[in-house]
Structure 1
Amino acid sequence: MNPDSRSFTYSQRRNFDPPQSSPRRIVLTGGGSAGHVSVNLALIPVLQQRGWDVDYIGSDNGIEKKLIAELPDVSYHAIATGKLRRYFSLQNFTDPFRVLKGVGQSRRLIRQLKPDVVFSKGGFVSVPVVFGAWLNRVPALIHESDYSPGLANRLALPFASALCTTFPETAASVNAGRAGRNVNAKNKNGKGKAVQVGSVVRPSITAGDTARGFARLGFDGGKPVLLAAGGSLGSQALNGNLRRNLSALLERFDVVHLCGRSGLDPRLEGRDGYRQFEFLNEELPDVLAAAGIVFSRAGSNAIFEFLALRRPMLLCPLGRSQSRGDQILNADSFVRAGYAESIDEESWSDEEFLRKLDLLLAQRETYAARMEAAGEGNSLELLLRQIEETVSR
């Protein structure tokens, strides 16, 4: 066979053989709290339905491992992490070396996995992963749920292709360069990196059954149910304020208390009208369906889930002495919109607490109507579109 014949035969194979397409692959990251995992939990089943292979990079001992590692067809990879603290700690001197180790591990993992894109929900574990993606020239998107970007996302933003936000004010602030000093908020074309997609709520959250919820809790429906949520890591202050007022609350409500890690009080087990859990997984949608009003921290993922369920909220945001004030901004936004009331933890009043819960209970139909009127677009689909567009670019 002469060279021309070989060339012609190869050309025929190239043009007429069926193309060999491989599944697209995405690496997800985010952790430190349940709020830094919830959007990923919403994304994973939809991505898998659309043919994506899914890998997850997180810490070895964070809550993200517990929530993700047992999901079917998701490969979990643990890396070294270091917490980004705003207060003095001796670990501030050692954790930078753990972060550098995590960057090296992420770089090797991403080079090995060869993903089409990396998606980060934030938290301190995400910074080495986004940087590792940048070193491998893999595009990365990051997601910010709160009104103001967190420290981890501000550090990751210069190495990301885009930032997806929940609040429109956040996108405007980032694109205007107000996200913080030395933050690159523009892409190579000079356009702002931030785009608002809205709140991403797990579809399963809205699929609960009220009757199953009452049965799970052992409540008969004779009283409205107050759901108290202290966050996945547990808030000692919120839990303590609730329990100090428990006798007065049980005159008005049946109470289900999600008290977070190590937050259970064995002295209260079996008390009539009170149920306590560290957290709930499969049962959570049914319990939420049974709840009438909510007392909660003001983490963005949680409050947007309550908004999707049309549950009036009394929000107790984490104070500025313990945070950057992001939950205060979240709560203020919901109060202005007429979805919630708020109470200040640092100037707490038991009388105000009970009075505002009574107000929410008396006017819960008004609050729910405002939430219904606001409506919610298909934010999950918008986020998936951003992922697809990032890959295509």
Structure 2
Amino acid sequence: MNTQTLKAYFEKSGLSIEYMKEKSHQNFDKFLSGEKLPTFNQLTKISKELSIPVGLLMLDKPIEKKLEAINFRTINSEYLAGQSRELQDTIDEMRSKQDFLQEEIETELEYISKFSISDNYLEVANYIRVILGIEKDYYLKVSRDNILKFFREKINQIGVFVFLNGKYKDNTHRALNLNEFRGFVLIDKKAPIIFLNQKDTKNGQLFTLIHELVHLFIGDEEIYGVQSETTDFDYTEAFVNRVTAEILVPNYKFLEKYSTTKNTVDIANTFKVSEFVIVRKMLDNKKISHKQYMSLIDKLSEQYKEHENPFDEKKSSGGDYKNNVRFRIDRQFFNYVQNAVNNQKLSYTDAFNLVGVSYKGYNILKERR
């Protein structure tokens, strides 16, 4: 075993030495330094914790994994040279789910990639509204606490699978980084998947959910970053943000409200969205200049950083592990998995791995069916 190879994969894992000493072997720190060499069995345990094949640890140098070909746009529209191991593995996890679903689903969805950014954004937004079956005054009939659930269920009904998590699978030691991404979409005509970073605020999750949905309709696969609200010079992102804002806040409804108050907090509360969306609508309607828009976005971003609460699984969606597992895993996806198990197409062990939960978590999901 090459010590440098072990060190490289350990550093990519994001795990601590203390964790590895507890989970793999008490001499892990000495394995890293080269003071001691692990046996094959010890190396196997280490590879399991690092989520890599044991053979990789026996190579002279680490293999650089090819990054998933999904656009990652930052505030400067630069493509990141690397992704965290947690993000890479989460994308792979969702790809595995998508591969499974493609084998189970026969019909294709006609609306995937139906539009392009050259289309009228109002027409695109109206079409998506019709497909979802929502009215322009939906916000009057849905409470703020249920608005994310409302849209998620509507999106599920049109054949899109939605997953959330704040960590990789069930591993609390491999947290996802909100500063890296808010969510991503994997486009497929049979089994499109939207993934949301559960560490985001509910307002943030809502915007990302609709944002990624719009990408399905224009056929552009991407990872949505934290500061994408400001990428107006990126024509695709500007178009997607505009359609997203229109779905959440219909234009004529916005103008009606804006004529009675210019207070962005009041307007945001009316439509049950974040101030980011309202500021976007103000720009779209030429109520503010682009310079003012950028200034307001910067101000809101600072406020967001000051008031954001770290994700706490125990406080998420009802306050316990049971509710959180049910919230994270798409219901229709789990039904497909359980049907495959019932038809002996999938073993329970493979099902646990595919869903990304333990025996306990799987039974919780079975109770929900």
Measured against the shorter chain, the TM-score band is under 0.3
Greater relative contact order (Cα 8 A, min sep 6): structure 1 or 2?
A: 2
Kindly indicate which of the two structures has a greater share of residues assigned to strand.
1
TM, length-normalised to structure 1: 0.20
Q: Which of structures 1 and 2 has the bigger CA Rg?
A: 1
Kindly indicate which of the two structures has a greater share of residues assigned to helix.
2
TM, length-normalised to structure 2: 0.21
